[in-house]
């Protein structure tokens, strides 16, 4: 197998080849660095490279000594920091030359043997479902460069989908793993609230909504990376129920006969785009053919409570974070520090009271209590991941707050509910729109139920494998 063919596979396969000593870690990492040099200029996925440091890290790898020893990896420039690499969050205000230390999640990735090649693009502070920050410029979807790769983990999605790396770090506060997974044809699992650490980045209010994990091409890679990343740090504000066995074992276990609810509507009852609805129907038919009990149903979601939880849950931490940064810099807020939409959200956050914040936390609990009983009657809910196919770049323009207010909700309508409830949900690349760009379908389950999601996802992957070849002509 050539290096190019190896990089076109998944991380588990690359690690196995390195462990067998079919190829060295330095050869694999050098080939991935070459791919970034070749493909990134057209996509703008990786915004800070660490090629020299990565080669040094690769030279120190002992093949087979860790589960992912020698596998190339990228880290999203938000929610995690890599010692010695720039950290910006996609924002001019937060840009620093180099992070002083790894966050806990990155330290766990390193202990698993992953070799970090660089940081990936993100919209400013993760506030958009499209990756088009003013600071770094837009990231392009490798399946159609006129279109968005989604957000906020769009840089990682484009890097993985184009074959620069087989897997990469991502985070999800309203759909930011699942949205780019849908747009770029990847596996995107949002874990249960509290499953993975944010330490030392504080998350007392944002943690109820946001969680870290990864974007991958295969279910087994997503499962293995969750094994690597999962587990609390003392002092974490939330903790997920511990798994009964490794998540990777779940990806090879039979799911049993499941009760699966299916809905082609948004939470407000309006239909999703016909291409997205067709992807849902197609997967529902497949699941029925696999012996599952499939029926039309959807939970009643308290929309007012959901909007309260999301709006305040985003604005209040943002205002606190900006004020802390300004205090660190010893100055006030300048006109060009924040993009216009971020500035509007900051102003909203500054106007909130303590009572408003308690209201938002109450809403998080109330929405979860309303939705939770549905998952006692059904094991899974199948929906579209996105209510519409991946948009063209510019549709979600953060320099125009009125555009964001009018359109942003359309691109997180199907995903954000599980950030509020804390439940796990996974986007699988089972569909295509009429132009051939990927469309994801989403499966959600009860709190703590990643094991079930991985079992059913692996069954779907085996029954109808999706394209895993990178969306790029292979030249290596």
- Whether 76 is a known active-site residue: answer yes
Segment 90-97 mean pLDDT: 94
Q: Measured between alpha carbons, how far is residue 407 from residues 84, 166, 402 in Å?
A: 37, 32, 9
pLDDT band of 408, cuts 50, 70, 90: confident
- Options 87, 130, 176, 206, the catalytic residue: 176
Q: What is the CA radius of gyration of the chain?
A: 21
- Options 76, 81, 190, 321, the catalytic residue: 76
Tens-place pLDDT, residues 33-72: 999 999 999 999 999 999 999 999 999 999 999 999 999 9
- Whether 176 is a known active-site residue: answer yes
Mean pLDDT computed over every residue of the chain: 96
Place of tokens 């970090």: 116
| pLDDT, position 474 | 53
- Options 128, 152, 153, 264, the catalytic residue: 152
- Whether 222 is a known active-site residue: answer no
* 469, two tokens: 């070849």
- Please state the pTM of the whole predicted model: 0.97
Q: Does residue 203 have a pLDDT over 80?
A: no
- Residue 11 exposed, middle or buried by CB count within 10 Å (0-12, 13-18, 19+): buried
C-alpha 54 chain-centroid distance: 23
Q: Are 168 and 187 in contact (CB under 8 A)?
A: no
| pLDDT, position 409 | 85
Q: Does residue 333 have a pLDDT over 50?
A: yes
| pLDDT, position 205 | 61
What is the distance between the alpha carbons of residues 261 and 410, in angstroms, rounded to a whole number? 22
């Amino acid at each position: 197998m050539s290096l190019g063919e190896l990089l076109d596979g998944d991380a588990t396969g690359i690690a196995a080849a390195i462990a067998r000593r079919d190829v060295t870690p330095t050869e694999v990492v050098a080939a991935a660095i070459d791919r970034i040099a070749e493909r990134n200029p057209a996509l703008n996925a990786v915004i800070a490279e660490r090629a020299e440091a990565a080669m040094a890290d690769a030279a120190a790898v002992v093949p087979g000594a860790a589960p992912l020893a020698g596998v190339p990896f990228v880290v999203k420039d938000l929610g995690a920091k890599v010692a010695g690499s720039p950290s910006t969050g996609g924002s001019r205000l937060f840009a620093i030359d180099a992070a002083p230390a790894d966050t806990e999640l990155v330290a766990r990735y390193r202990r698993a043997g992953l070799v970090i090649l660089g940081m990936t693009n993100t919209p400013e502070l993760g506030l958009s479902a499209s990756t088009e920050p003013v600071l770094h410029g837009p990231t392009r979807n490798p399946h159609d460069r006129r279109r968005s790769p989604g957000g906020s983990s769009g840089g990682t999605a484009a890097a993985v989908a184009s074959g620069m790396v087989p897997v990469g770090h991502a985070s999800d506060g309203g759909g930011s793993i699942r949205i780019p997974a849908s747009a770029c044809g990847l596996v995107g699992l949002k874990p249960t609230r509290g499953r993975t650490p944010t330490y030392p980045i504080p998350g007392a209010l944002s943690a109820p909504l946001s969680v870290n994990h990864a974007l991958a091409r295969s279910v087994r890679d997503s499962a293995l990376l969750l094994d690597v990343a999962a587990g609390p740090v003392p002092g974490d504000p939330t903790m997920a129920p511990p798994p009964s066995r490794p998540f990777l074992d779940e990806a090879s276990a039979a799911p049993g006969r499941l009760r699966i609810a299916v809905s082609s509507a948004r939470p407000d009852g309006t239909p999703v785009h016909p291409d997205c609805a067709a992807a849902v129907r197609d997967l529902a038919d497949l699941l029925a053919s696999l012996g599952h009990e499939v029926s039309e149903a959807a939970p009643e979601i308290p929309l007012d409570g959901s909007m309260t939880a999301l709006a305040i849950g985003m604005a209040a931490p943002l205002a606190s974070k900006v004020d802390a940064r300004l205090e660190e810099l010893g100055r006030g807020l300048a006109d060009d520090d924040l993009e216009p939409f971020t500035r509007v959200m900051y102003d909203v956050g500054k106007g909130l009271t303590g009572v408003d914040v308690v209201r938002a936390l109450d809403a998080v609990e109330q929405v979860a209590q309303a939705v939770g009983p549905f998952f006692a009657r059904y094991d899974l809910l199948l929906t579209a991941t996105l209510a519409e196919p991946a948009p063209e770049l510019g549709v979600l323009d953060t320099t125009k707050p009125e555009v964001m207010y009018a359109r942003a909700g359309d691109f997180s309508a199907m995903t954000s509910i599980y950030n509020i409830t804390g439940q796990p949900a996974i986007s699988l690349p089972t569909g295509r729109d009429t132009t051939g760009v990927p469309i994801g379908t989403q499966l959600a389950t009860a709190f703590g139920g990643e094991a079930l999601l991985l079992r059913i996802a692996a069954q779907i992957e085996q029954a109808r494998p999706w394209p895993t070849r990178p969306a790029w002509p292979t030249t290596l």
